[in-house]
Structures are given as C-alpha cells and as structure tokens.
Copies of this chain bind each other. A is one copy, B any other.
Amino acid sequence: MAKFMDVHHNMKGITREQLIEAHQNDLAIEADERVHFEAAWADPESGVVYCLSEAPSAEAVQRIHERTGHRADEVHPVPLRV
C-alpha cells in the first residue's frame, strides 16, 4: 500500500455539502479496490480539490473516483511525507 495525492481542477463553486457527498460516495465503495480516502481539501474559488489516500495503486484510486463520477485530473504517489 502507498500514499497518493490526487487533484481535480474543475470544481469551481464546490460547496461543503458537495465535497462531503463526493467523499462519502468514495468511502462507500473504496473497499472494492482496497483504497482509503483519508482527507480532501477544496478551493471553491479556483476549483481545485486535493484528495489524500492510501491505495495499492494510482489506477485503483482513479477507478473509485471514476465510479463515483469525479475522475481525477492527476494522481501522484507521494512516498515522502513530513
């Protein structure tokens, strides 16, 4: 398992409720791919959303996001953390 940061770039105007709903939808199915979404941060003004996860691969992260209707624009492994 590894850590990943994925980024969505076109979420302008996202509300707190929409972020919570998207995250809950991911959590509901993440076990299918042995992914766990730990946190997400959003900037409604620029429309960027960052999601931190633990997963077996970037593809697994993306499959969950695709199934819940919000494909990530980037998925990066982040093996280093301070």
Contact = CB atoms under 8 A, between A and B. Distances in A.
11 contacts: A3-B41, A5-B41, A16-B80, A19-B82, A20-B82, A39-B81, A40-B82, A41-B78, A41-B81, A43-B77, A50-B78
A35 interface: no
Copies in the assembly, this chain: 2
A44 B5 contact: no
A17 to B, nearest CB: 10
Interface of A: 3, 5, 14-16, 19-20, 23, 39-46, 48, 50, 52, 76-82
Residue with the greatest number of chain B CB neighbours at <10 A, chosen from A3, A41, A48, A82: A82
Contacts of A3: 41
